[in-house]
Amino acid sequence: MKKKRLVIRTVILFVLGAAVAYTLYANFTKDQVQKVAVGEKAPDFVLTDMDGEKHRLSDYEGQGVFLNFWGTWCKPCEKEMPYMNNQYKQFKDMGVQVLAVNVGETELAVNKFSDRYNLSFPILIDEGQVQSAYGINPLPATFLIDKEGKVIKYITGEMTEATIKDYMEQIKP
């Protein structure tokens, strides 16, 4: 009788505690829920670059993809662009592709920016669909995608040239 009561109490308290714990957890992670989780396959997309060429993410399987979301007004994005450009030149022959997705600015602004920094990797303009699929909020946002198409890391915030190099090393097939 006594034992039964203890068991019942333990079960009830456990259920209540679990519900509270879940609610608290869900509440505090709701802002950070990443649409694309590390270890999962990166959502496929097709975007056109500034030369009119189409880039489909799944076509790059077998290569590492350094997927960067940026805007011309975003200072840290502007800062890391030349670093990415330098490292891209080093790594592109080793099977690392850089895709820089602009968050829906005008072609003019993107072209001028790209000319100014002499960017050699493909720059794609997304009107919102890819950003929504990847759950992009603060810029810059970078996804490291390995040769199987899986996301191995998500970085938000500015990167140094050394870390960019290190990241490219990580996704080198």
Binding site for other proteins (CB under 8 A): 2, 5-6, 9-10, 12-13, 16, 19-20, 22-24, 26-28, 30, 33, 43-47, 56, 71-73, 103-109, 111-112, 124, 126, 128-130, 132-133
Min dist. Cβ of residue 154 to other proteins (A): 17
Choice between 17 and 90, CB closer to other proteins: 17
- Interior angle at CA 118, CA 72 and CA 106, nearest 5: 35
Choice between 75 and 153, CB closer to other proteins: 75
Min dist. Cβ of residue 62 to other proteins (A): 18
Choice between 30 and 93, CB closer to other proteins: 30
CA separation for the pair 62, 66 (Å, rounded): 13
The token pair that represents 21 in the structure block: 């714990």
DSSP 3-state of 57? helix
Distance of CA 118 to the CA centre of its chain: 23
Min dist. Cβ of residue 8 to other proteins (A): 9
CA separation for the pair 93, 72 (Å, rounded): 27
Min dist. Cβ of residue 100 to other proteins (A): 14
Q: Are 142 and 159 in contact (CB under 8 A)?
A: yes
Choice between 45 and 91, CB closer to other proteins: 45
The token pair that represents 84 in the structure block: 């990415």
